[in-house]
């Protein structure tokens, strides 16, 4: 007889209504999707964790649930699934010596190599595959908490509303986490303002870990000391996104409007790397740093850091800022820059998919199949954002209030919010200028900029159109 339990580094969620389970390994940072009988086996392991669990007990539950008459075949499949989970270090087995020893488990050592392929969806699943499942079944897989409105910087392009003094309460956060777990949420993002300004940031990370969530942080890095880096690393975040606008202090500090912020951000990167964390660098590109992005890319490559450049500058919810005027899309070199996949993440993603396709599928329509050709984005389908006041938005940029977690349950908001339902019903067909556009099949449609300016959800701004059409033309020129 054995006790079966999850390994310490594993986060799991089980979606009984779609016969699917998703496992995540904090060490390898890999996802695994299991379905049907394999999903049920996983669900039972979690349900009876640290209890004695035999093949017969698992088989009995599954036979009843799936109405499977062939007991012997089912038990072989269960054993193969458990073998697979054990091989992938997802579960651990503790032997018990008693008179009821289940001899079927003796085959686990040495481990068999066979696993029923029909039950294992993907051994190592990509974020795209996770998004496809969670979007289509409206599972709020990723939720971002804006822990505080405060920020130590004053970036010229920031779209965030005026910085108030609101911040999340740890007790309320714990209650919301319990609701999110019931809804199937797996990944918690911490942002702000600046999330590290919250005095209880470690308690938020600890509680998320205790309740079996994956975490990630979005930060400007200026508050990361060596001690704080050690603390963050101890909670094994999936990733840390850190803002850096140039490889020189003059340009970076001009954008943040805080002298010395560049040096503090570089120190943060150094401290995180000491703890084995390579942060993901995020750079918003505007007129003020367009001249500096090549040097930043070179610097990141020399440090083996991934840098994502974003050329879309949103209007600000803060009326005092005119951030949209900073966009660099009229720069003479913009098209040549966007032709370089190191700067254009959309282009890189498409070309990467093309390289992995067999020759007869290497056309643009099959390279960029959307999660669902009618959906706008994942906001409100598999992701959402909550600010310190408890307001819920489809994402941090599209601040369309669909409910408040301090006034209604998250389950009620997610399933019954009238505003959220109206948002979900908007499709590509509702955007008149997109209907006859050749780029629409793969366009990264985002109505947030127009919503900030006019409050309208069915319009796309010229900046978005320029970026998407330019990328489309580049692909055509490459013969994709």
For the record, the structure tokens of 107 come out as 């085959």
pTM of this prediction? Answer: 0.90
| Residue 70 banded pLDDT, cuts 50, 70, 90 | low
Residue spans of beta strands (DSSP E) within 342-397: 383-386, 391-393
Residue 159's Cβ-count burial label (10 Å; 0-12, 13-18, 19+) is buried
For the record, the structure tokens of 165 come out as 């003094």
Question: What value does the CA radius of gyration of the chain take, rounded to a whole number of Å?
Answer: 24
Which run of H or of E encompasses 3? strand 2-6
**What is the secondary structure of 402-421 as a DSSP string?**
-EETTTS-HHHHHHH-HHHH
What end-to-end distance do the CA atoms of the chain give, in Å? 57
pLDDT tens digits, residue range 221-255? 999 999 999 999 999 999 999 999 999 999 999 99
Residues 139, 145: Cα–Cα separation, whole Å: 17
pLDDT tens digits, residue range 282-332? 999 999 999 999 999 999 999 999 999 999 999 999 888 888 899 999 899
Predicted pLDDT of residue 2: 62
Bridge partners of 125?
31
For the record, the structure tokens of 174 come out as 């714990």
For the record, the structure tokens of 396 come out as 């941090």
For the record, the structure tokens of 462 come out as 């010229």
pLDDT at 363 over 90: no
| Residue 356 banded pLDDT, cuts 50, 70, 90 | low
**What is the secondary structure of 302-339 as a DSSP string?**
HTT--EEEE--PPPPSSTT--GGGG--TTSTTHHHHHT
User: Which has more confidence, 186 or 345?
Assistant: 186
pLDDT tens digits, residue range 160-208? 887 667 899 999 999 999 999 999 999 999 999 999 999 999 999 999 9
391-393 vs 403-404, strand pairing mode: antiparallel
30-35 vs 20-25, strand pairing mode: antiparallel
Which run of H or of E encompasses 465? helix 462-477
Q: What order do you get walking across the sheet with 30-35 strand by strand?
A: 10-15, 20-25, 30-35, 120-125
Residues 467, 460: Cα–Cα separation, whole Å: 12
User: Helix 201-210 crosses helix 226-234 at what angle (to 10 degrees)?
Assistant: 20
């Amino acid at each position: 007889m054995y006790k079966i339990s999850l390994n310490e580094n594993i986060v799991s969620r089980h979606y009984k209504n779609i016969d699917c389970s998703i496992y995540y390994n904090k060490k390898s940072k890999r996802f695994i999707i299991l379905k049907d009988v394999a999903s049920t086996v996983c669900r039972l392991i979690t349900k009876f964790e640290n209890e004695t669990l035999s093949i017969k007990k698992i088989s009995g539950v599954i036979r009843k649930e799936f109405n499977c008459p062939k007991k012997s075949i089912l038990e072989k499949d269960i054993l193969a699934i458990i073998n697979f989970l054990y091989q992938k270090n997802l579960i651990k087995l503790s032997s018990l010596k008693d008179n009821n020893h289940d001899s079927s488990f003796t085959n686990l050592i040495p481990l068999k190599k066979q696993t029923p392929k029909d039950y294992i969806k993907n051994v190592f699943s990509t974020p795209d595959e996770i998004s496809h499942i969670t979007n289509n079944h409206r599972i709020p897989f990723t939720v971002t908490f804006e822990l505080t409105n405060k920020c130590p910087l004053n970036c010229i392009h920031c779209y965030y509303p005026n910085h108030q003094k609101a911040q999340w309460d740890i007790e309320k956060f714990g209650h919301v986490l319990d609701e999110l777990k019931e809804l199937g949420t797996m990944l918690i993002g911490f942002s702000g303002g600046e999330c590290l300004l919250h005095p209880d940031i470690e308690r938020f990370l600890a509680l998320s870990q205790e309740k079996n969530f994956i975490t990630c942080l979005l930060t400007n890095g200026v508050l990361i000391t060596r001690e704080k880096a050690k603390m963050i690393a101890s909670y094994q975040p999936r990733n840390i996104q850190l803002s850096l606008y140039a490889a020189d202090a003059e340009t970076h500090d001009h954008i943040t409007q805080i002298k010395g912020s560049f040096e503090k951000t570089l120190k943060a990167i150094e401290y995180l790397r000491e703890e084995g964390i390579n942060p993901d660098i995020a750079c918003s590109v505007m007129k003020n740093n367009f001249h500096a992005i090549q040097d930043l890319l070179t610097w990141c490559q020399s440090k083996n850091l991934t840098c994502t450049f974003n050329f879309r500058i949103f209007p600000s919810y803060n009326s005092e800022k005119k951030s949209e005027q900073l966009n660099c899309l009229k720069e003479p070199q913009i098209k040549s820059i966007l032709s370089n996949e190191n700067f254009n993440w959309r282009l890189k993603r498409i070309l990467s998919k093309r390289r992995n396709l067999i020759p007869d599928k290497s056309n643009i329509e099959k390279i960029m199949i959307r999660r669902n050709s009618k959906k706008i984005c994942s906001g409100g389908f598999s992701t959402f954002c909550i600010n310190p006041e408890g307001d819920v938005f489809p994402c941090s940029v599209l601040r369309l209030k669909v409910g408040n977690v301090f006034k209604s349950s998250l389950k009620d908001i997610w399933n019954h919010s009238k505003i959220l339902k109206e948002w979900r019903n908007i499709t590509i067909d509702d955007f008149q200028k997109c209907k006859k556009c050749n780029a629409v099949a793969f366009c990264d449609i985002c109505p947030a900029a127009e919503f900030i300016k006019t409050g309208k959800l069915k319009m796309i701004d010229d900046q978005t159109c320029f970026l998407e059409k330019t990328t489309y033309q580049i692909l055509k020129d490459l013969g994709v």
